[in-house]
Amino acid sequence: MLGNFTYVNPTKLYFGENALEHLPEALADYGKRVLLVYGGGSIKKNGIYDKVVSLLQKAGKEIVEDGGVMPNPTLAKVYDGCRIARVGNIDFILAVGGGSVCDYSKALSVSIHCEEDPWEKYYLRMEEPSCQIVPVGCVLTMVGTGSEMNGGSVITNTETKLKIGKVFSEKVFPKFSILDPTYTFTLPNYQMVSGFFDIMSHILEQYFSDSDDNTSDYLMEGLLHSLIHSSRIAVKNPLDYEARSNIMWIATWALNTLVAKGKTTDWMVHMIGQSIGAYTNATHGMTLAAVSIPYYRMLLPYGLPKFKRYAINVWGVSAEGKTDMEIAEEGLARMESYMRELGLVMNAKELGVTEDMLDGIAEGSFIMEGGYKTLTKDEIIQILKESMEAVK
Amino acid sequence: MLGNFTYVNPTKLYFGENALEHLPEALADYGKRVLLVYGGGSIKKNGIYDKVVSLLQKAGKEIVEDGGVMPNPTLAKVYDGCRIARVGNIDFILAVGGGSVCDYSKALSVSIHCEEDPWEKYYLRMEEPSCQIVPVGCVLTMVGTGSEMNGGSVITNTETKLKIGKVFSEKVFPKFSILDPTYTFTLPNYQMVSGFFDIMSHILEQYFSDSDDNTSDYLMEGLLHSLIHSSRIAVKNPLDYEARSNIMWIATWALNTLVAKGKTTDWMVHMIGQSIGAYTNATHGMTLAAVSIPYYRMLLPYGLPKFKRYAINVWGVSAEGKTDMEIAEEGLARMESYMRELGLVMNAKELGVTEDMLDGIAEGSFIMEGGYKTLTKDEIIQILKESMEAVK
């Protein structure tokens, strides 16, 4: 059943090849001084940086730079960025990059004029901003996180070893995001397929909850069909615009809040995956891939009707002459074949996970309660062990 | 392929039973003087009017009334409403009703402070407003049009016999809409199933275009699955909250611009249906039902791959041992069975269409060019004749 909810998503999207041309128009309503935020500098190599700077200059904007945002943006970097933004007296933050750059920019947007410590206020006490919010816009160069159209902002405090995701209200959502699928073409295969599975996992972790009938589940089945279809094309030809553009669009809708409306969500695969990441620094999507099949096999008996539905509606399993359990298991088997076809990591050892880490990874996995079963620490260890025994 | 596009939808939705309780919160940021717009007075009978007035009073608002909005809101009514709004010096327009009341309220919102003639500026010259726009909020009591979350506003000029739909930019979208599925419970069966088919037609008229692979088509397949499933439940038990809430949610997403992104659209069924409506005053959804099967049978050879996909993905037709044409035709046959199961009108005669009207209805059908085939006037007459020969 669709539970009661509130939905709003004010982010304006400019989608398609050369969508960057909309940048001056998108910035027209905002002030002159733009903080240009980016990551390790790949945008300087692929020419996106030059294009952005040229468009900003043409639009009469003054640029203050804040580069070097790391894959897991740190609180120390946020403090630094605030200083740069205050000295530069900036009016607008333009994030050019992937999810980390967007997440970091949102953290800045609510911290620059914050009179309290932003870490304590937003990430520990989970409060909403009461100060002036500096508006953010994004030019997306990598897909997966959905940060371009939501209020999510994950920041890591390296001193306390806490990585916390805050989901801000719509006032902190990017004002606009520019999505050019061709910007994703240069990503190496390993990162590309890892991103595909991150998107799939976002959908599945919202799909596998509740037993009631809910339109959101049907929307997710549509997104999954499109993702499976397009990812199979993209893995053979990464330059296929049709496939890459569909995937960029799916990634946005997989995590911009729509498909979670009116239902509970699981997110346990992300919790275990993130804990693996903390121990191994492995690529995010691959950590999800390595635990998904053991996790869903463990969950199956507790959510059998949904796993049966998943098998039939998403993987086209024929129900004829089979028990519900057989149908559901065939669905997961097809999912596993698809994952291997994509070249995803199915064994946690390949990510550097060793026996002596298991206890720590399990301990570090935040236990979520929205799925079909609340895991125990021992069950998390069992999932990790099964992954380590999986065929590579 | 996903063509280039811009997407934005800032409307905030409060969804679920008793969602009306959010009204004071939703109005908090707006001025004191509220124009309360409604239709023929059914909201006075079912108690919604009293609840709204009580919440407005509690929120300290002053109410100016503008009732009596007709099913096809007229330009004369818009002029009247502007006078009432100006005299009342109103700050906000609250639409309580279905699509017509929402459409009318949007027309008012851009006309109250307009110094030119709004009909000429917006509906004939199709311009965007340059004056102050009075913000609109909606309390939805009927589903189908999607007007609660888009910029659409259809107004009829009875003097010139022109009924024109203007789609305004996001600045005119409702600021919020309150969607309580229980408000739709009291609708008579005929209107209810007619509304279900209106929703289905909105989806199909965006689905049946383009031959390329597009995520939007997958989303629509998800919406269609959910609609077919829930409408079958609702027709047996109109008080089934789960089914009615899903249908309310599907209706919004079927026509709030999302699923049309990156593709062309057809809308020819709506054009013929509206022309039938002008001649017979028949219920909108039933006019669409009466022409859909003959229309899609005519279209099938021109869009065979999509009709085949529709049969397999939406109606579960097995492809084994059949030609593409056989698969596609089986899909339409299943759609027809479903429509009969719902009790939809399949024969235009039942709506009052007579032989002598055919030429006029065809002449009055605006020819759209986004579908698989651009119809001729003779072909429209043929579709109407086939409908008149259909089994009742």
Partner residue opposite A242 with nearest CB, options B14, B22, B212: B212
Q: Is-contact B155 B74, C-beta < 8 A?
A: yes
Task: Give B308 to chain A, closest Cα distance, Å.
Answer: 16
pLDDT at residue B160 is higher than 90: no
Q: What's the pLDDT at B182?
A: 96
Q: Which of A3, A8, A245 minimises the CB distance to B2?
A: A245
Report pLDDT digits (tens) over A154-193. 998 988 878 888 999 999 999 999 999 999 998 999 999 9
Taking an 8 Å cut-off on Cβ atoms, the answer to whether A219 and B223 are in contact is yes
Q: Which pLDDT belongs to residue B71?
A: 87
Say what the pLDDT of residue A232 is.
98
- Interface contact flag, B12 A7, Cβ < 8 Å: yes
Are B173 and B10 spatial neighbours (Cβ–Cβ below 8 Å)? yes
CB contact under 8 A, B225 and A241: no
- Closest residue in chain A to residue B233, using alpha carbons only: A213
Instruction: Using the predicted structure, report yes or no on whether residue A268 has a pLDDT greater than 90.
Output: yes
- Integer Cα distance of B147 and B251 in angstroms: 10
Residues of A in contact with B3 (CB under 8 A): 16
State the pLDDT at residue B281: 83
Distance from CA of B183 to the nearest CA of A (A): 14
Domain extents in chain A: 12-183, 189-389
Residue A76, pLDDT score: 97
> Residue A143: what pLDDT?
87
| Per-residue pLDDT at A161 | 78
Provide the token pair at B223.
Answer: 């919406």
What's residue B212's pLDDT? 83
Q: Name the residue of chain B whose CA is nearest to A171's CA.
A: B10
Give pLDDT, residue A41.
85
- pLDDT at residue A392, as a whole number: 85
- Whether residue B44 is predicted with pLDDT greater than 80 in this model: the reply is yes
Count the Cβ atoms, other than its own, within 10 Å of residue B167. 12
End-to-end Cα distance, chain A: 40
pLDDT tens-digit map of B182-217: 999 989 999 999 999 999 999 999 999 988 899 999
State which fold the A189-389 domain adopts. Dehydroquinate synthase-like, alpha domain (1.20.1090)
Q: How far B72 CA sits from the closest chain A CA (Å)? A: 29
Q: Tell me the whole-structure pTM to 2 decimals.
A: 0.95
Interface mutation vs chain B, best among A14, A20, A219, most B CBs within 10 Å: A219
Looking at CA atoms only, how far is residue A219 from chain B in angstroms?
5
SS3 (DSSP) at B170: helix
Q: What is the per-residue pLDDT across A22-49, written as a single tens digit (0 to 9) for each?
A: 999 999 999 999 999 999 988 999 999 9
Statement: residue B41 has pLDDT above 90: no
Which residue from A minimizes the CA distance to B10? A10
User: What would the 3-class secondary structure string for chain A be?
Assistant: CCCCEEEEEEEEEEECCCHHHHHHHHHCCCCCEEEEEECCCHHHHCCHHHHHHHHHHHCCCEEEEECCCCCCCEHHHHHHHHHHHHHHCCCEEEEEECHHHHHHHHHHHHHCCCCCCHHHHHHHCCCCCCCCCCCEEEEECCCCCCHHHCCEEEEEECCCCEEEEEECCHHHCCCEEEECHHHHCCCCHHHHHHHHHHHHHHHHHHHCCCCCCCHHHHHHHHHHHHHHHHHHHHHHCCCCHHHHHHHHHHHHHHCCCHHHCCCCCCCHHHHHHHHHHHHHCCCHHHHHHHHHHHHHHHHHHHHHHHHHHHHHHCCCCCCCCCCHHHHHHHHHHHHHHHHHHHCCCCCHHHHCCCHHHHHHHHHHCCCCCCCCCCCCHHHHHHHHHHHHHCCC
CA angle A229, A234, A237 (to 5 degrees): 135
Q: For a pLDDT cut of 90, what percent of chain B falls above it?
A: 90
Interface residue of B143, B215, B261 to substitute, partner A, most A CBs within 10 Å: B215
Region A132-151: mean pLDDT is 94
Q: Give A230→chain B minimum CA distance, Å.
A: 9
In residues, how long is chain B?
392
Residue A239 has pLDDT above 80, yes or no: yes
Q: B261 to chain A: which residues are within 8 Å by CB?
A: 15, 249
Chain mean pLDDT for chain A: 96
Tokens 């943006």 belong to: A73
Interface test with B, best of A5, A21, A170, A246 (most B CBs within 10 A): A246
Task: Note whether ipTM > 0.90 here.
Answer: yes
Chain A residues within 8 A of B12 when measuring between CB atoms: 6-8, 170
Distance CA B240, CA A213 (A): 12
Q: Which residues of B touch A11 (CB under 8 A)?
A: 8
Closest-CA distance of chain B to residue A323, Å: 20
Q: Number of A:B CB contacts under 8 A?
A: 139
pLDDT in tens, A181-228: 999 998 999 999 999 999 999 999 999 999 888 999 999 999 999 999
Percent of chain A with pLDDT over 90: 90
Q: At B139, phi and psi to the nearest 5?
A: -115, 110
* Nearest by Cα to A227 from A206, A207, A248, A209: A248
* CATH code for the domain defined by A12-183: 3.40.50.1970
Cβ contacts of A206 on chain B, cutoff 8 Å:
none
- Phi first, then psi, for residue B36 (nearest 5°) are -95, 110
Give the chain B residue nearest A213 (alpha carbons).
B242
Q: What mean pLDDT is reported for chain B?
A: 96
CB pair distance less than 8 Å for B3 and A12: no
pLDDT tens digits along B226-277: 999 999 999 999 999 999 999 999 999 999 999 999 999 999 999 999 899 8
- Comparing C-alpha atoms, which of B42, B43, B45, B48 is closest to residue B21? B48
Confidence check: pLDDT of B278 > 90: no
